[in-house]
Amino acid sequence: MSEAASKTKKARVNVRRPDVMERVAAEVAEHFHSSVVEKLKDKGGKLTIGNTTVRLAQEFGFCYGVERAIDLAYASRRVFPENRIFLIGEIIHNPDVNGQLRDMGIVSLPWKDIGPDYDDLTDDDVVIVPAFGAPTSFMKKIEERGCYVVDTTCGDVMKVWRRVRGFAKDGITSIIHGKSNHEETRATSSRALGEDGSGHFLIVLTLGDVDYVCNYLIHGGDRAAFLSKFEGSYSEGFDPDVHLEKVGVANQTTMLKSETEEIQRRLRKALEIRDGNGDAFVVFDTICGATQDRQDALFNLLRTPIDMLLVVGGYNSSNTQHLVEIGEKQLPTFFIRDASRLKSLQEIVHYDLHHAEEVTSSYARIFSSHEPVSIGITAGASCPNNLIEETIIKVFGLRGIDREVVVNA
């Protein structure tokens, strides 16, 4: 048997051993747990000290899939204390969490392209697949190198993969609502090719993208212009005049649900106009429950009287970005990486989604020390509770309230 053939025989590794997970649970709690956040949740998400109120959304922070991914990454180091351990990209989109893994000696591999770093892998190396999953080409490469594989892919993501594989098998093109350069969408689109690689996909991001597709479905159009507009967002050999006969919708699990639903409605209507019925349209709800819970909880929070909203999390976190978009429509909203970005309640360093850069804003409203203020806080599914705690303490601190008072409230 050749070396390459023998390497492919190595099974994926289950690192969830009871003795290991007990130690992992303690380490994860030490790094990311927050007693302040837990107490605030017990109080219904509202804490008032003096004339300062903090309101925390009912659902926020780590979801089950993220917790599982982090646990498995920590467990990998315990099960393989002497091996080199690599991670495809980031485990989740949070710099604090990824920094902890780097401190444990877990090395990040490129996730956009398979480069020479992958050729250097050996059969003694461990490779962690992140919560977003990885494209099939990456998985094949790792298997060819014979590495131990610890797969932390979220179960909700794998449900989407099963659906788009089914679309491909049935000759249905997957229209994927997502960001074409996002790890999860790249992983999903690779599965939309099907087992034999003959399937097709088209990635759309905005309602404007969908309207363009719908107009093409109804009226036809310039094929070359279509391909130019969506360059980099469709499968090899995709032809809008051929591969839009039957379509099915799936999505990156962290997208805004209301937008995905509107995309589905518009596509269905366009196909009904084109064909006289909707038989060529297949829909499947692939928004994950945790994403929807956090969006719904924010809508509920925004029904309460608050002066500003702070959204805490990694700037490249898709589900966190959508929370920002929801907040921006109703009140001053600031997307902060952590508490250090709060210079005062008037000067905030935050991420501007529209210009894709960190900026400093001088909030026009002046909060005097004697004026009542209410601050809303939420966080995406990849934000640990310790960062939320520090944000809460910083808000009260800027109002002259000591940490000890908040911790003991």
Q: What is the mean predicted confidence (pLDDT) over 12-29?
A: 89
Confidence of residue 335 (pLDDT cuts 50, 70, 90): very high
Q: Which of 184, 259, 389, 390 is catalytic?
A: 184
Domain ranges of the chain: 32-62+290-407, 65-154, 156-283
**pLDDT tens digit string along 53-89?**
999 999 999 988 999 999 999 999 999 999 999 999 9
Confidence of residue 277 (pLDDT cuts 50, 70, 90): confident
pLDDT reported for residue 3: 47
Mean pLDDT score of the chain: 92
Phi-psi region of 20 (alpha: psi -120 to 50; beta: other; left: phi over 0): alpha
Nearest Cα neighbor of 157 from 65, 294, 283 is: 65
Q: CA torsion, points 117, 121, 125, 131, in degrees to nearest 10?
A: 50
CATH fold label, 156-283: Cobalt-precorrin-4 Transmethylase; domain 1 (3.40.1010)
Q: What is the mean predicted confidence (pLDDT) over 95-119?
A: 94
Q: What is the mean predicted confidence (pLDDT) over 124-130?
A: 96
Which residues on neighbouring strands pair with residue 375, listed in sequence order?
54, 308
Cα–chain center distance at 329: 21
Q: What is the mean predicted confidence (pLDDT) over 34-52?
A: 94
- Rounded to whole angstroms, the maximal C-alpha distance in the chain is 78
**Lowest pLDDT segment from 31-45, 189-203, 358-372:** 358-372
Contact in structure between 194 and 170 (CB atoms under 8 Å): no
Examine the residue annotation and report whether 90 is marked as an active-site residue of this protein.
no
**Secondary structure (H, E, C), 338-396:** CHHHECCCCEEEEEECCCCEEEEEECCCCCCCCCCEEEEEEECCCCCHHHHHHHHHHHH
pLDDT reported for residue 1: 34
Contact in structure between 343 and 22 (CB atoms under 8 Å): no
pLDDT reported for residue 54: 97
Residues 6 or more apart in contact with residue 200 via CB below 8 angstroms: 168, 173, 174, 192, 193, 234, 235, 237, 238, 243
Supply the CATH classification number for the domain 32-62+290-407.
Answer: 3.40.1010.20
**pLDDT tens digit string along 182-226?**
999 999 999 999 999 999 999 999 999 999 999 999 999 999 999
Rg (Cα) of the chain, in Å, rounded?
A: 23
Residues 6 or more apart in contact with residue 263 via CB below 8 angstroms: 175, 177, 204, 207, 210, 249
pLDDT reported for residue 4: 46
Full strand arrangement of the beta sheet holding 201-204: 201-204, 173-177, 247-251, 281-283
pLDDT reported for residue 5: 44
Nearest Cα neighbor of 344 from 330, 357, 363, 329 is: 363
| Residue the block writes with tokens 């601190």 | 397
pLDDT reported for residue 16: 87
CATH fold label, 65-154: Rossmann fold (3.40.50)
Length of the chain: 409
**pLDDT tens digit string along 147-160?**
999 999 999 999 99
Residues 6 or more apart in contact with residue 148 via CB below 8 angstroms: 10, 12, 13, 80, 83, 125, 126, 127
pLDDT reported for residue 285: 63
CA geometry: angle 151, 382, 109, nearest 5 deg: 45
Contact in structure between 64 and 384 (CB atoms under 8 Å): no
pLDDT reported for residue 282: 79
Contact in structure between 261 and 295 (CB atoms under 8 Å): no
Residue 6 has pLDDT above 80, yes or no: no
- Asked whether the domain spanning 156-283 has the same topology as the one spanning 65-154, the reply is no
pLDDT reported for residue 345: 87
pLDDT reported for residue 303: 96
**pLDDT tens digit string along 286-321?**
667 788 899 999 999 999 999 999 999 999 998 999
